[in-house]
A and B are shown apart, each in its own frame.
Chain A
Amino acid sequence: MNKIKKKLNVIRPTLRHKKKYFLISYSSDINEDKIHSLFIKNYEKTYGLFSLIECNLTVIESNLKNKTIIIRINKEYNEQFLSSLFFLKQNLGLIFVLKQASTLKSLR
Chain B
Amino acid sequence: MKQKYFDFVMDDLIENTSIKELEHIFINLNIKTVYVLRELKKKEDYSIKFILPKTSSNKIILKKAYLLKDPSLFHLYKEKEILFVESKSLKNNTFISTHKKIKFLKDPLSEKLSFDEQNARSCFQNKIKVVFDINLFRSNNNKSFLKQAIFIIPLLKKHKVDMIFSSFAKTKEDLVDFNIFSSFLKNFYLEEEIINRFLSKEILKLE
Residues of A within 8 A of B (CB): 27-28, 79-80, 82-83, 85-87, 89, 93-97, 100
Contacts and interface: CB of A to CB of B under 8 A. Distances in A.
Given A94-B25, A96-B28, A97-B179, A89 B184 contact: no
A85 B180 CA distance: 7
B183 A79 contact: yes
A83 B29 contact: no
A100 B174 CA distance: 23
Given A83-B186, A83-B187, A89-B174, A97 B180 contact: yes
Top-10 shortest CB links A-B: A82-B183, A83-B183, A97-B179, A86-B184, A83-B184, A93-B173, A79-B183, A85-B180, A89-B138, A82-B180
B137 interface: yes
B176 to A, nearest CB: 7
Given A79-B186, A96-B28, A96-B29, A86 B180 contact: yes
Contacts of A28: 173
Of B25, B177, B187, chain A has the most CB atoms within 10 Å of the CB of B177
